[in-house]
Amino acid sequence: MYLQKHRSNLFCAAFLALGVAGAAANAAIDTVPGMPPVIDSSNLYSEIASGHFSPAVNGTLNRIYVPNHTSGDVTVIDPETMKVIETFKVGFNPQHVVPSWDLQTLWVANNAEGRSTGSLTPIDPKTGKPGKAIAVDDPYNMYFTPDGRSAIVVAESRKRLDFRDPHSMELKESLATPGCAGINHADFSIDGKYALFTCEFNGALAKIDMVNHKVLGYLKLTKRNLPQTLLPAPDGLPSQICSSTSGMPQDVRVGPTGKVWYVADMEADGVFLVDGDSFTQIGFVPTGIGTHGLYPSRDGKKLYVANRGSREIHGKKHGKGSLAVIDFATNNVESVWPIPGGGSPDMGNVTPDGQYIWLSGRFDNVVYRINTSTGETRSIPVGKEPHGVAVWPQPGRYSLGHTGNLR
């Protein structure tokens, strides 16, 4: 058991001002009811530090779960032996393996690519075995409200967020997001009052009121300093949308102070910086070709950026994939490590001790284990077109979803 062995063990003035504010004295955060308190307002990732395991993950097996989108199965890897120990079939087109809010279940999101046969397959992390799938419409991705009361199924092709019971997955309500084509990845504000979702197919972000379940507006991202045009949101509220039609935003993560948000854009080859509260774009950091996945370090000081090596949805093998490291304090890119021989790093997570990051090799049918200090990379063959890899268990008190967005 993992726990038994390891438990002890460029930039504008607006952004600079936000950095100074984040360095101010630690103040209490007024969170939404039911959300666990923010322990350190200067670092919302303080509770995912190495060793900060919840009792909820006691007895959990140390495993890497790889959903293979095209082969329709999940590969299970023992990271201590670096061996594949099992592969089991799931529903059509598995996209991500998502830890539940209470850390008791891993959900495989099988969105079935536009069919009506989408499903969620539960995995018991204490046995590593799958249970009976639950029929769910178009579950491309899944998140959980910060209070844990609802699962949020991201119905990408429907331009919709479905709020469901977090255990039975019974539908409670739906929220249409008509201005967000290709809605997929998300993160939540430090107080849990709103979330930003990326809109992959129209280069935008959607801001969602998590208290009243309303669309607050859309922000069209631009490369560098292209002009912006204001247009109304569908619900009549003001919304900022710019004139550029390029861009393909993917993963999104809020920075440790909760002030600056980081948005990976596969066409822009870098990370947009956004002020979440004012919902404005404030900067851009080039990182590499096909910028895709974002993962904070265990100490909340670094952001690991997976560059998929291609701007195409279906790229070729052995592309110019790499892992970049951004310093949260300065937004400087400290390191860029190319995948040896080329590759396509996509999505995954950091190991509990922070020593490695595991990422799927989307177009190369492998997963990578990359040393977060040196960039040394090892790969393991898996199924066809691996996607949202889950590294489990993870330190943290609760899961907001995706491949393990814990706090």
Provide the pLDDT confidence category of residue 358 given band limits of 50, 70 and 90. Answer: very high
For β-strands 183-188 and 260-265, DSSP reports them as: unpaired
Provide the pLDDT confidence category of residue 246 given band limits of 50, 70 and 90. Answer: low
Per-position b or e across 190-227, b if 16+ CB within 10 A of its CB:
bbbbbbbbbbbbbbbbbbbbbeebebbbbbbbbbeeee
pLDDT at 65 over 80: yes
Residue carrying structure tokens 């997001």: 177
**So what's the pLDDT on residue 26?**
59
In tens, the pLDDT along 33-44 reads 999 999 999 999
H or E, element range at 286: strand 280-286
In tens, the pLDDT along 159-178 reads 999 999 999 999 999 999 99
In tens, the pLDDT along 248-272 reads 999 999 999 999 999 999 999 999 9
CA dihedral in degrees (378, 384, 385, 389; nearest 10)? -60
359 - beta bridge partners?
348, 368
**So what's the pLDDT on residue 27?**
74
H or E, element range at 206: strand 204-209
Mean of pLDDT values over 188-213: 97
**So what's the pLDDT on residue 314?**
87
In tens, the pLDDT along 93-133 reads 999 999 999 999 999 999 998 789 999 999 999 999 999 99
**Range name among 24-28, 125-129, 278-282 with the lowest pLDDT average:** 24-28
Using alpha carbons, list the distances in angstroms from residue 33 to 131, 146, 166, 399: 32, 9, 17, 16
Asked if residue 283 lies in contact with residue 22, where contact means CB atoms within 8 angstroms, the answer is no
**Range name among 239-243, 303-307, 322-326 with the lowest pLDDT average:** 239-243
pLDDT at 17 over 80: no
CB atoms within 10 A of CB 20: 9
pLDDT at 75 over 50: yes
* Residue scoring higher pLDDT (128 or 18): 128
Mean of pLDDT values over 353-377: 98
**So what's the pLDDT on residue 247?**
87
Residue carrying structure tokens 């690519």: 113
Cα separation of 79 and 358, whole Å?
Answer: 10
DSSP string, 129-169: EE---EE-S--SEEEE-TTSS-EEEEEGGGTEEEEE-TTT-
**So what's the pLDDT on residue 166?**
98
Mean pLDDT of the chain: 90
Provide the pLDDT confidence category of residue 226 given band limits of 50, 70 and 90. Answer: very low
